[in-house]
Structure 1
């Protein structure tokens, strides 16, 4: 850590060690606040967002004093981001598709279509409001269906293309989406049930209950030991290296163009390929509990660093147009859930529960979806195992197969215009 005066301005510089230490402390503070403040826990606001936002608000206050500034060295942010997306890829098993049947395919394809709609709609709205269309993409699938993880990953990438405020817009949109997704899922479910006079009964097929129970119980069957954690970490690091190499190779092939493919995208797809080859050839035993631990730690540190270094003042001139875009995006997903997805899924109680989950992760994140579905099932006293199998599988795992490439394509398309 270094303190110095530059042109009459006090500058506090945190080196990589200090920055990482501060990020972990803020992450722990975020967990403590989320556990003690009921409304924050109810909307599933991530601990990294809470802790990191405290620091970004502090730097905002210091920024407005005009004589004090803070600088962070976030060199650990990139490897943590790479590790997180690699663990996402390891979790994508195509064998999961068999468990959900036709309803899972319908739901998953609809989620993939939503990602394209959110980006196209956001870019169009931004252009109509006189903004760079890339900012509309930041307020589209990047932050809504993608959540804070994708927002923190793609925001700096777009800022690197010269779009000021992209990271702040993405993070702000993701936070808005979490709150909106948590608020709207239940009311939409209630409206659908009452409007269509639905019977409160779930699919009786024991396949869904067994599959859902299998997925929930799989975690407890994998013990976490130091050897298991070390071998899992080695696997993740190897896949990260392969992904980084692929990204560099693609960059050489596309030299001279504006096409960009981030290393965390190639790492994720390298992990997807490995996971599904391993499901058939059984190279190694994948400990899902260890994968979850690495995922939680990496996303926690990565997202906290992204939040704590956020320049909130970049949002000032974008606040009103951003609110307009987000309100219209929210209206769009509610209409799609009520008038399209509900019918495609069979117009029954299970479809209602899945629509409430769809709004939760289509605007926010998978924990919002689970919270919404749990609230609906508790309210009506009937558990929808079908919904609890399909929605988390799609929202947390399978959606990224198309969602991430879709984001990359839209960014490259508008960056080259």
Structure 2
């Protein structure tokens, strides 16, 4: 812990991680006691993260203190999570996701065009530069913090938006919260209205179903074995990421690690049949659930609401327009096109997650639904591929097109 000034407290990565674990437990306890949160599938780390960020806001309002976190370990847990997803991905599931993957990709590309069109022209309608609408569009919402930060200087230079970085970060932060809160209720509405249930007879890819948590068998050996496999995949994933970067293809590190994990899980068990492989195990499910929970909790607890106060008017108008369009698009386009079934309902929760927040938010939304209502493994395979890989590529071309208008 370090006091940078009389009003700023900076916490190192170890203390930040410890607080993240506490915040995650707070979210679990609150969700367990409030039926409303379970009914509408609000992810537990979202509950804890928002609680912590509101506590930080109170600390700022009462004493004028700002808390800053070192979030290095948060990003490590993101890689842990997606590597675990890759270890659970079987070729049969990937093949079954072929048609749904193409459909979701087409829907996502359509949605990105709509999102930027709404943002661009809504900004013009309230007297703001079109670039502001792009920031409160696919740059910050579908793209997340990384894309918003990367494109802010370009938008600032092209359209004279001097506070582009602040707008982008604020939009990405608030979008993350909204995405975390609406995905579950959307799925609950669709499940209830269409009387849908899971037809899968497989284990969850993330976490363990609520009614089975007390009957799982996990040992120190399978926990350590799962962590070892994850680490090996991460090492080779990092090497692949470096090679691809030298070839001019820049991917998020977690995508490369997930690709290596998919390759490993579909080759090593067949070549070395006596090797104990963690795919589908409760140990791996717990590790992935814990990693995702910590990433979400630490992301949300670091929000600083007071920083967006000056941007409140235009920002919230543009965000309200984007939320309305997203909900309508999910209910009347995504859900029908993807099949009007349980898989489509789970996918709808995920679409809200990466459409307004980020891919980890999408997975958290779907995980909350799956833990309550049953597995949908194909959704957990295709959403990261579309949300983490194709969105970044499409965003580059789309944002450049709108900036050239």
TM-score by length of 2: 0.75
Structure 2 match to 1:296: 289
Cα distance in structure 2, aligned partners of 1:362 and 1:25: 29
Structure 1 match to 2:277: 286
CA 270–3 in structure 1, closer or farther in 2 if over 3 Å, else same: same
* Aligned residue among 324, 329, 350 for 1:327: 324
Cα distance in structure 2, aligned partners of 1:216 and 1:250: 31
Contact 1:19 1:72 in 2 (8 A): yes
CA 135–160 in structure 1, closer or farther in 2 if over 3 Å, else same: same
How far apart are 1:239 and its partner, in Å? 1.1
Spell out, residue by residue over 1:205-230, the C-alpha distance to the aligned partner (whole angstroms, 9 max, x if none): xxx96xx335479x899953212221
Structure 2 match to 1:393: 377
Q: Does 1:234 align with 2:228?
A: yes
How far apart are 1:70 and its partner, in Å? 1.4
Cα distance in structure 1, aligned partners of 2:89 and 2:49: 29
CA 409–34 in structure 1, closer or farther in 2 if over 3 Å, else same: same
How far apart are 1:119 and its partner, in Å? 2.4
Cα distance in structure 2, aligned partners of 1:183 and 1:67: 35
Classify the secondary structure of the residue corresponding to 1:45.
Answer: coil
Cα distance in structure 1, aligned partners of 2:284 and 2:105: 25
Structure 2 match to 1:409: 393
CA RMSD in angstroms comes to 3.5
How far apart are 1:178 and its partner, in Å? 4.7
Contact 2:10 2:67 in 1 (8 A): yes
Spell out, residue by residue over 1:245-281, the C-alpha distance to the aligned partner (whole angstroms, 9 max, x if none): 2223333333xxxx74221121111212222223543
* Aligned residue among 96, 114, 118 for 1:125: 118
Classify the secondary structure of the residue corresponding to 1:273.
Answer: helix
How far apart are 1:398 and its partner, in Å? 3.2
Q: Does 1:362 align with 2:329?
A: no
TM-score by length of 1: 0.73
Contact 1:80 1:298 in 2 (8 A): yes
Contact 2:56 2:67 in 1 (8 A): yes
Classify the secondary structure of the residue corresponding to 1:213.
Answer: coil
Moved more, 162-171 or 261-270: 162-171
Q: Does 1:52 align with 2:37?
A: no
Cα distance in structure 2, aligned partners of 1:338 and 1:67: 46
Spell out, residue by residue over 1:11-34, the C-alpha distance to the aligned partner (whole angstroms, 9 max, x if none): 222122211111111111111011
CA 59–31 in structure 1, closer or farther in 2 if over 3 Å, else same: same
Cα distance in structure 2, aligned partners of 1:304 and 1:224: 24
* Aligned residue among 254, 258, 264 for 1:268: 258
Gaps of 5+ in 2: 123-129, 153-164, 354-364
CA 277–132 in structure 1, closer or farther in 2 if over 3 Å, else same: farther
Cα distance in structure 2, aligned partners of 1:106 and 1:405: 17
Classify the secondary structure of the residue corresponding to 1:95.
Answer: helix
Where does 1:19-38 land on structure 2 (aligned, <5 Å)? 19-38=16-35
Structure 2 match to 1:172: 174
Structure 2 match to 1:348: none
Spell out, residue by residue over 1:93-119, the C-alpha distance to the aligned partner (whole angstroms, 9 max, x if none): 121257x6xxx6544433333332332
Classify the secondary structure of the residue corresponding to 2:266.
Answer: helix
